[in-house]
Amino acid sequence: MLDRSVAPAFSKDFSFDLPSFEIRSLNSGANLIILQGLQQEVVKLEIIFKAGKWHEPALGVSHFTSNLLDKGTDRKSAKEISGIFDYYGSQIEISPGYDFTSVSLYVLKKFMPQVLPIFLEIISSPAFPESELNLQKEIFIQNLKINNQKNNAVASKLIRKNIFGSQHPYGSSVEEQHVAVLTPADLTKFYKTNFSPAEIYLHGNFTDANLEWISSQFGLFTSQTVEDLKFDSIPEKRVCTEDRPESVQSSIRLGKEIINRSHPDYFPLLLLNHILGGYFGSRLMKNIREDKGLTYGIYSSLHPFKNSGMFSIGADVNKENKEIVFTEIKKELALLRDVAISEEELTTSKNHFLGSLQLEVANPFSSFDKIKNIRLNGLSDDYYKLLFSSIRSSSASSLKEIANKYLIENSFHEVSVG
Q: Taking CA 68 as the corner, what is the angle to CA 67 and CA 71, rounded to the nearest 5 degrees?
A: 125
For residue 34, which of 18, 17, 22 has the smallest C-alpha distance?
22
Question: In this predicted structure, what is the pLDDT of residue 220?
Answer: 74
pLDDT tier for residue 14 given thresholds of 50, 70 and 90:
low
Please determine, for residue 15, whether its predicted confidence score (pLDDT) is greater than 70: no
Please determine, for residue 86, whether its predicted confidence score (pLDDT) is greater than 80: yes
Four-residue CA torsion sign, 359, 365, 366, 370: positive
The answer to whether residues 368 and 201 touch, using CB atoms and an 8 Å cutoff, is yes
pLDDT tens digit string along 255-298?
A: 999 999 999 999 999 999 999 999 999 999 999 999 999 999 99
Please determine, for residue 331, whether its predicted confidence score (pLDDT) is greater than 90: yes
What is the rounded average pLDDT of the residues 324-342? Answer: 97
Taking the C-alpha atoms of residue 105 and residue 45, their distance in angstroms, rounded to an integer, is 5
Instruction: Count Cβ atoms below 10 Å from residue 235 Cβ, excluding itself.
Output: 15
The answer to whether residues 407 and 333 touch, using CB atoms and an 8 Å cutoff, is yes
Share of the chain above pLDDT 90, in %: 86
Question: In this predicted structure, what is the pLDDT of residue 11?
Answer: 57
Please determine, for residue 13, whether its predicted confidence score (pLDDT) is greater than 70: no
For 322, phi and psi rounded to 5 degrees? -65, -40
| Average pLDDT score over the chain | 94
Question: In this predicted structure, what is the pLDDT of residue 126?
Answer: 97
Across the beta sheet with 197-204, the strand order is: 22-25, 31-36, 197-204, 42-49, 101-108, 91-96
Q: Pick the more confident residue, 136 or 9.
A: 136
User: Strand 413-417 to strand 239-242: parallel, antiparallel, or no bridges (unpaired)?
Assistant: parallel
Q: Which are the contacts of 353, defined by CB distance < 8 A and separation ≥ 6?
A: 270, 271, 274, 278, 279, 391
Taking the C-alpha atoms of residue 299 and residue 314, their distance in angstroms, rounded to an integer, is 6
Per CATH, the number for 239-417 is 3.30.830.10
Q: 22-220, what's its fold?
A: Cytochrome Bc1 Complex; Chain A, domain 1 (3.30.830)
Taking the C-alpha atoms of residue 352 and residue 318, their distance in angstroms, rounded to an integer, is 30
pLDDT tier for residue 363 given thresholds of 50, 70 and 90:
confident
Question: In this predicted structure, what is the pLDDT of residue 2?
Answer: 59
Please determine, for residue 411, whether its predicted confidence score (pLDDT) is greater than 70: yes
Q: Which are the contacts of 266, defined by CB distance < 8 A and separation ≥ 6?
A: 259, 260, 304
What is the rounded average pLDDT of the residues 350-375? Answer: 88
Question: In this predicted structure, what is the pLDDT of residue 218?
Answer: 87
The answer to whether residues 117 and 214 touch, using CB atoms and an 8 Å cutoff, is no
Instruction: Count Cβ atoms below 10 Å from residue 199 Cβ, excluding itself.
Output: 18
Judge whether 22-220 and 239-417 match in fold: yes
pLDDT tier for residue 364 given thresholds of 50, 70 and 90:
confident
Please determine, for residue 1, whether its predicted confidence score (pLDDT) is greater than 60: no
Least confident of 34-38, 107-111, 174-178, 349-353: 34-38
The crossing angle, in degrees rounded to 10, of helices 266-273 and 383-393 is 60
pLDDT tens digit string along 208-249?
A: 999 999 999 987 787 778 888 899 999 999 999 999 999 999
CA atoms within a 13 Å half-sphere pointing along the CA-CB vector of 173: 18
Taking the C-alpha atoms of residue 11 and residue 355, their distance in angstroms, rounded to an integer, is 10
For residue 199, which of 72, 377, 385, 380 has the smallest C-alpha distance?
377
Question: In this predicted structure, what is the pLDDT of residue 362?
Answer: 76
Q: Is 237 helix (H, G, I), strand (E, B) or coil?
A: coil
pLDDT tens digit string along 143-189?
A: 999 999 999 999 999 999 999 999 999 999 999 999 999 999 999 99
Q: Locate the domains of the chain by residue range.
A: 22-220, 239-417
Taking the C-alpha atoms of residue 47 and residue 104, their distance in angstroms, rounded to an integer, is 6
Question: In this predicted structure, what is the pLDDT of residue 414?
Answer: 98
